[in-house]
Amino acid sequence: MVSELSSVDKVVGAKQVRRALNDGRACKVFLACDADPRVVEPLARLAQEGQVPVENDISMADLGAACGIAVKSAAAALVR
């Protein structure tokens, strides 16, 4: 659920999400459904490999707003 992104333990942006997945810190990933597939597909594969749940039924604008930022976002993750 997108409301989970109001927590303080999150990262926003494709690079930060990739880093969190590689470090094993991501516990849930949010990918925008209208983001460029070249950006989100590698993140989806990394999440699947790490058995991290993925939610991808949110737009970039809504994802950015849910994260409390003033711009669109392709990816965000809850981290440990």
What CATH number is given to the structural domain containing 73? 3.30.1330.30
pTM (2 d.p.):
0.93
Strands 75-79 and 10-12: antiparallel
- Asked if residues 27 and 78 have their Cβ atoms less than 8 Å apart, the reply is yes
Domain count, the chain: 1
In tens, the pLDDT along 62-75 reads 999 999 999 999 99
In tens, the pLDDT along 2-18 reads 788 887 799 999 999 99
Domain span at residue 66 reads 2-79
In tens, the pLDDT along 47-57 reads 999 999 999 99
- Asked if residues 78 and 11 have their Cβ atoms less than 8 Å apart, the reply is no
| 75-79: strand order across its sheet | 10-12, 75-79, 26-32, 54-58
Q: How far apart are CA 58 and CA 50, in angstroms?
A: 22
